[in-house]
Amino acid sequence: MTHSSTLMTLKRLEEILGCFSGLTIGLVGDLFLDRYLEVDTKLSETSIETGLEAYQVSRVNNQPGALGTVMNNLAALGIGRMLPVTVIGEDGHGYDLLKSLQHLPVDTRYVTKSPVRLTPTYTKPIREMVGGNLEELNRFDVRTRASLDPTVSHLVSSHLERLFQETDGIIVLDQINETNWGVINEGVRNTLGQLCKMHPEKLVFVDSRKHLHEFSCGVLKGNEVELRATGNEKWCLEDGMQRIHEITGRPVYCTRGEDGILVSTSHSETVHVPGFGVAGPVDIVGAGDSATSGIVASLLVGADAIEAAIVGNLVASVTVQKIGITGTATPDELVARYQEVIP
């Protein structure tokens, strides 16, 4: 493994960031609704029916999650247009989810509503404790624990074909742990493989929690645990990344938190791109999605694999400092962060 000592100049960073607004990015995968219920403990009542404390919700905050987290990050970076391919339910959660996308540059024509699916929803009650600290209570998860209907799955594959014609590049986000329960099932993966062969020039960036080993095309990205799970346990991480590169012929990215990103760019070389140090408390939730957004946007405007990793690290270093929220980073924040770290 080699270590990258390349310092991107401020001028080069600004060149890359300045091109983001002209991009159209397609996304395919699982779109969730993150619903935050703010409980006011001063208003608590006792339920007549059960005698239990009835929490009183003073505010509801709906945010797009999973694929939506990536879209939030891309929007903050200034991406011009996004086209998600996904499946939600014909329900109230789906209505709220689509409404939460309205402030983003998102075209929802390829969002399929299924009457037999539940819109994936994480409901997160939060209450204020003594001293002003917030406590997150037990989460309520809503999602359909079954495979897509074959007709809906075929529609997803059809929409994916259109993304190859209508976008500059595509992000594939596979969030569901169970095999074939999410949008990215075996049929969609097969379609993706065929389309990659037909359009080798198209950037396809794949991020999968549990199924990276099922993908044989595209730029694959995972954290250390996810990438180690793709191969022989006797392999070192770098060997595993290089074997994936041999299969896909594309760079492979491994995010490693504050340690930065590993990039496999050839059959024999893996490069370590150091992270940007962050002082004070951090919140790493969503940091991987932040890195994905920076990497993909940079690759699409002509950055090389190492430059893209530098931007990905920079984006993540900004978002982890935003405590208690799934943070995003704007181009101005990235420039300010660069100037802070590299005077």
- What CATH number did the domain enclosing 244 receive? 3.40.1190.20
Q: What token pair was written down for 41?
A: 């403990």
Number of domains in the chain: 1
Q: What's the pLDDT band for 7 if we cut at 50, 70, 90? A: confident
Determine, yes or no, domain membership for 134: no
Q: Which residue has the tokens 């009542």?
A: 45
Which of 30, 28, 206, 44 shows the shortest CA–CA distance to 125?
A: 44
Task: Tell whether the model's pLDDT for residue 5 goes beyond 70.
Answer: no
Cβ atoms of residues 149 and 114 within 8 Å: yes
User: How far apart are alpha carbons 17 and 20 in whole angstroms?
Assistant: 6
Determine, yes or no, domain membership for 290: yes
User: How far apart are alpha carbons 225 and 59 in whole angstroms?
Assistant: 37
Residue 90 structural domain: 2-31+69-118+147-341
Contacts of 320 (CB under 8 A, 6+ apart): 278, 282, 283, 284, 287, 290, 327
Q: What's the pLDDT band for 107 if we cut at 50, 70, 90? A: very high
**Pick the residue with more confidence: 159 or 127?**
159
User: How far apart are alpha carbons 262 and 281 in whole angstroms?
Assistant: 24
Determine, yes or no, domain membership for 196: yes
Determine, yes or no, domain membership for 62: no
CA distances from residue 303 to 8, 125, 297 in whole angstroms, order as listed: 11, 41, 9
Determine, yes or no, domain membership for 210: yes
Q: Which of 38-47, 161-170, 230-239 has the highest mean pLDDT?
A: 161-170
HSE-up of 150 (CA within 13 Å, CB side)?
Answer: 0
Determine, yes or no, domain membership for 130: no
Cα–chain-centroid distance for residue 136? Answer: 22
Q: What's the pLDDT band for 6 if we cut at 50, 70, 90? A: low
The model's pLDDT over 161-203, given as tens digits with 9 standing for 90+, comes to 999 999 999 999 999 999 999 999 999 999 999 999 999 999 9
Identity of residue 143: R
Determine, yes or no, domain membership for 127: no
The model's pLDDT over 273-315, given as tens digits with 9 standing for 90+, comes to 999 988 888 778 888 999 999 999 999 999 999 999 999 999 9
Determine, yes or no, domain membership for 274: yes
